[in-house]
Structure 1
Amino acid sequence: MFDQINGLPVHALVLHAAVVFVPLLALGAIVYALVGRWRPKIGWAVLLLGIIAPVCTFVAKESGEKLYDRLIGQGLKGKGKEILDDHMHFGTMTFWFTLVLGLVSIALVLLTRRPDASPKIVQWVLAGAAVVLALISGYYVYRTGDSGATAVWGQY
């Protein structure tokens, strides 16, 4: 399922969705957390991105593992294997941080829709967590993409 579609690696087809949706979720979560007057306008987008971005990173991670297994089966060793090991580590971290960011963002949107639904301190904690997780997710999606590009195109 995550290996190939018509002979093309699924990873090459889906990784760009993660590269787009994770930064959009991170940006949306930061704006939603910090700019109260924009919340009614972007809440729906943050909710959708809170679901879509983790799903995209999961599919990219799983398809990357299938591609890695195929490359190892073909005899990949040495420096190339080390670069891919780093890439896989960054991809796994991207998935976990994006998943938590998505959950925190969804909770933040749902709890701020009705101000009386939760104490302000809970909303502040979730907003702070969303900002921190957005920055970490952004960092890891960058590192994952950079290490993947290095693995494919070489170091320049």
Structure 2
Amino acid sequence: MFERVLGLPAHPFFIHAAVVLVPLLAVAGILYAVWPGARRHVRWTLIVLAVATPGAVFAAKESGEAFQKSANFQSGELQAKIGEHGDLGSTLLLVVVGLTLVALATAYLVRPVPTDSVGPVAAHWALSGLMVVLALAALYYVFKAGDTGAKMVWDGF
């Protein structure tokens, strides 16, 4: 399923969804966490992105693993570079899953109108802080994974 799309390698198609959705989720999460005035505008966007983004990253990761098995990429040096790229993608998936869980919990507990919020205020601050940290980590890992992949392609492996 993750190997080809219309006869072409699937990985280049799937990575674009991840490269777009991860930063959008990160920015929406940071806005929701630090700017109470934006919460009523960002809440549903945050929820939709939190549901969609892990699927995009998972598809990119799985298609990359299928792409790695191509006969064209079997040299030892190339496999080492692909391994580093894959490790960054695996870490990104874990960070995005964490960000998703925190984003969904924050969207439920920290409502747009503070009087409607659920749970103790300390939990709101903890979730908001954790969301900012995970969002920044997701931005870092999507950049690093994309950078290593792009360097392999554009520098001729």
Structure 1 stretches of 5 or more lacking a match? none
Aligned twin of 1:63: 63
Give the whole-Å Cα distance in 2 for the aligned partners of 1:45 and 1:36.
Answer: 15
Runs of 4+ in 1 over 4 A off after TM superposition: none
Aligned twin of 1:38: 38
Offset of residue 78 of structure 1? 2.7
* Counterpart mapping for 1:1-156 below 5 A: 1-71=1-71, 74=72, 76-113=74-111, 114-115=116-117, 117-154=118-155
What's the TM-score once normalised by structure 2's chain length?
Answer: 0.93
Give the whole-Å Cα distance in 1 for the aligned partners of 2:141 and 2:101.
Answer: 17
CA RMSD across the alignment: 1.2
SS in 1 for 2:140: helix
Give the whole-Å Cα distance in 1 for the aligned partners of 2:68 and 2:95.
Answer: 22
Offset of residue 127 of structure 1? 0.3
SS in 2 for 1:118: coil
What amino acid is aligned across from residue 142 of structure 2 in structure 1? Answer: V
Percent identity between matched residues is: 38
Offset of residue 111 of structure 1? 0.7
SS in 2 for 1:2: coil
Give the whole-Å Cα distance in 2 for the aligned partners of 1:30 and 1:95.
Answer: 18
Give the whole-Å Cα distance in 2 for the aligned partners of 1:38 and 1:13.
Answer: 32
What amino acid is aligned across from residue 145 of structure 2 in structure 1? Answer: T
SS in 2 for 1:90: helix
Offset of residue 75 of structure 1? 5.8
Structure 2 stretches of 5 or more lacking a match? none
Give the whole-Å Cα distance in 2 for the aligned partners of 1:75 and 1:15.
Answer: 18
Offset of residue 13 of structure 1? 0.9
Give the whole-Å Cα distance in 2 for the aligned partners of 1:75 and 1:59.
Answer: 20
What amino acid is aligned across from residue 106 of structure 2 in structure 1? Answer: L
What's the TM-score once normalised by structure 1's chain length?
Answer: 0.93
Give per-residue Cα distances to partners, 1:80-111, cap 9 Å, x unaligned: 11111110001111111011101101110111
Offset of residue 79 of structure 1? 2.1
Give the whole-Å Cα distance in 2 for the aligned partners of 1:75 and 1:41.
Answer: 46
SS in 1 for 2:89: helix
